[in-house]
Amino acid sequence: MKFIVSSGQLSKQLQVLGGVINSNNTLPILDNFLFELKENELKISASDLETIMSTVIEVESESEGSVAISARLLLDTLKTFPNQPLTFKTEENNTVEISSSQGKYDMAYFDGNEFPKAVTLDSPSSTTIPGDILATAISKTIFATGNDDLRPVMSGVFFQFNSENLTFVATDAHKLVKYSRTDITAKESAEFIMPKKPLNLLKGILAGSDSDVTVEYNDSNAKFIFDNVVLVCRLIDGKYPNYEAVIPKENPNKLTVDRGTFLNSVKRVSIFSSKTTHQIRLKMAGTELNISAEDIDYSNKAEERLVCDYQGEDMQIGFNSRFLTEMLSNLNSNEVLIEMSLPNRAGILTPIDGIDDGEFITMLVMPVMLNN
């Protein structure tokens, strides 16, 4: 097989696909990109057995065939080229010769038939989501997923599609994020848990994208199709916890505060908190919010006062500062509303402004017990 391709275009596509490849693969073939040529269409794929991603680019060619070429070698080589046409040609001795204006490079190839094939989804359901909205939904939720191998369902993002809205949920039992869109719906109801790795890949490619993404899914796999890219991944098996049950409905104490000021204050005060609990204390009374932290082991202590709008009974509540910082950093609003009921019940964060019509974000953070 022989084809001519633009080095810049090839390098760009391979860098996207390179994110799929693991650093330590059990099967040596997975260290390669699969090139499948059919006249002037070149399909390139990468896989880690759980996820397979492929992209199609146009090349100059009249031949066909399939070979697997070392990903690392190819990526390292292409990075160094200025944009120019490259000619790829397979030789008798199982090598591919790449010719550029500077010279020639030979690299070994493997038989393309050894490469794992993408799963075909039987009678899938499908929904179309604008790419930038899917990227936003992923970035607003993925930080709240867990890393506990004993609870794999919590290590992914829960997709809940129905005829009224699309909802994305992530939790690690200490914090929870629910992101909903009522401006996009699905024809039929479906629920599935997406693993983190393919979501991170999609988030990176789709940020700021104006393409529509077709999502096809069944009980075991999901497929994302956009532009010239197809990503198929295995879903996490299991039942997602009933997250609605942990979101407290009655929250009479309401704190409205400037998000940026509050975030910076939490970051500063948390430097003085205990390195094991990361605990900070919020004390609300009237129009004053008092934020404090103490590390008794090292006699470190900090306290700040902010002006806020608080309605409810005077109260004190403790939170893990890292969780609060992550949540506040993932919101774009100028002001946030924090709703609370008791010092041992979860606090709920919602943005007051800076969201689209039909966009809803609810963040929940569990309190930590205060040691008075």
Q: Which domains does the chain have, with CATH numbers?
A: 2-114 (3.10.150.10), 125-163+188-244 (3.10.150.10), 247-368 (3.10.150.10)
The DSSP letter of residue 120 is P
**What's the predicted TM-score (pTM) here?**
0.93
Q: What is the mean pLDDT of residues 197-201?
A: 97
208 band by pLDDT with thresholds 50, 70 and 90: confident
| CA gap 221, 218 in Å, rounded | 6
170 band by pLDDT with thresholds 50, 70 and 90: very high
pLDDT digit string, tens, across residues 8-57 = 999 999 999 999 999 999 899 999 999 999 989 999 999 999 999 999 99
Query: From residue 157, how far is each of 110, 138, 191, 215 by CA, in Å?
Result: 36, 8, 11, 15
At residue 370, does pLDDT exceed 70? yes
Q: What is the mean pLDDT of residues 58-67?
A: 95
CA of residue 243 relative to chain centroid, distance:
20
Q: Is the dihedral of CA 58, 59, 60, 62 positive or negative?
A: negative
pLDDT digit string, tens, across residues 256-267 = 999 999 999 999
At residue 302, does pLDDT exceed 90? yes
The pLDDT > 70 percentage for the chain reads 100
